[in-house]
Amino acid sequence: MAHSIKEIAAALGAEAFGDVELTVAGASEPGNAGPDDLALAMSPAYGDALREGNARVAVLWSGADWQQFGLDAAIIAPRARLAMARLTQMLDRPLQRDGISPQALIDPKARIGADVSIGPFSVIGPDAEIGAASWIGDQVSIGPGVTLGEGACIHAGVRVQRGVQIGARVILQPNVAIGGDGFSFVSVEPANVEIARSTLGNDPMTPPEDPTWHRIHSLGSVVIGDDVEVGANSTIDAGTIRATQIGDGTKIDNLVQVGHNVIVGAHCLLCAQAGVAGSTVIGDRVVVGGKAGVADNLTVGDDVVLGGGTVVLSNVPAGRVMMGYPATRMQTHIDSYKALRRLPRILRDLTKR
């Protein structure tokens, strides 16, 4: 669908210049843009590429002189990524809604709301409740007693286990697994991992008489708030007794593991390959960087930022920015890293004396 520059600017809350009645059919990177594309050149770094392309209209950075690029019209976006969010929402193709596929298997005890779309080979279990206007792709499994809020979007291959509660407008990307059993095992006598933790590794590790791991079953479930998104191939384990919880507005990237009994607050970001171990509490608005890890039974306060690759082994007070392994304040980590890099030179200078 074509949109005028005036319409797009209004949707972005931005200012438009030039021939605002021009229409575009889609968005493009500056160097590849054609005359019917809206070139996205939201920083000066894209200026040269914009000149090389064939775009007539572009979204530009604040303060840009749009006429020097030979454009017929332009939109000035002071906050580029926010403009990108609104623009992509406007231009994205809607999901195809074909109602309930005849190849879907829906238990007679399931309750399906109005205007729900369910793809082929998906299975909806007994006593499951699917909210109005939800969209469920193909080969999705919705277990017994699952509650799915209104307007949810469940992509292909998702597995939602029994009793999970999911809020409104939640997006689950392909192959997400929600509500699998937690990784909980115990031995008859204290295992070497318990001894290592209690003695800080000072006692020798010896073979136990009975190495059997006894499984602790997950009797709890998972409760996910409204407006949550979970990326492809991520997993959220069921709680042992109480439910694992994900707060409203939290966004979880691909390949993230959230362990059993974890509580994640509202409006958090958990980036790719991050892991949160069992029974840890993550506050509101926390950012967990890529490949970061948080050990079990800890508390991470509100508004904490954990840099990529950070490993948290103790509680983190609210508002801290942490980096490194083990995690320390960002400035402490940077100072330590600088000192470590200087160490070879210092040692070399000392040997010359």
Among candidates 34, 24, 64, which has minimal Cα distance to 46?
Answer: 64
Q: What is the value of pTM for the model shown?
A: 0.90
Tens digit of each residue's pLDDT (9 = 90 or more) over 195-221: 888 898 888 889 989 999 999 999 999
What's the distance, CA 170 to chain centroid?
12
First-to-last alpha carbon distance for the chain, in angstroms, is 75
DSSP-derived 3-state class of residue 309: coil
Buried b (16+ CB within 10 A) or exposed e, 282-295: bbbbbbbbbbbbbb
**What percent of the chain shows pLDDT beyond 70?**
100
Give the Cα separation of 168 and 297 in Å (integer). 29
Average pLDDT value for residue range 309-323: 97
* Phi and psi angles of residue 94, each rounded to the nearest 5 degrees, phi first: -70, 150
For residue 223, the model assigns a pLDDT of 98
Across 110-136, average pLDDT: 98
Q: What percent of the chain has pLDDT over 90?
A: 76
Residue 6 has what pLDDT? Answer: 94
Per-residue pLDDT band for 19 (boundaries 50, 70, 90) equals very high
User: Catalytic residues, which ones?
Assistant: 260
Residues with Cβ within 8 Å of 192's Cβ and at least 6 positions away in sequence, in order, are 205, 206, 208
pLDDT in tens, 328-348: 998 998 888 898 888 888 888
Give the whole-angstrom CA distance, residue 85 versus residue 75.
15
Q: If phi over 0 gives left and psi between -120 and 50 gives alpha, with beta otherwise, what is residue 296?
A: beta
Distance CA 265, CA 52 (A): 46
Give 11's DSSP letter. Answer: H
Structure tokens at 71: 């454009």
Residue 1 has pLDDT above 80, yes or no: no
Distance from C-alpha of 292 to C-alpha of 320, rounded to nearest angstrom: 15
| DSSP helix/strand/coil, 195 | helix
Encode pLDDT of 66-105 as tens digits.
Answer: 999 999 999 998 888 898 899 988 888 889 899 999 999 9
Is pLDDT of 352 > 90?
no
Q: What is the pLDDT of residue 282?
A: 98
- 217 contacts: CB under 8 Å, gap ≥ 6: 181, 240
In the predicted structure, residue 53 carries a pLDDT above the cut 90: no
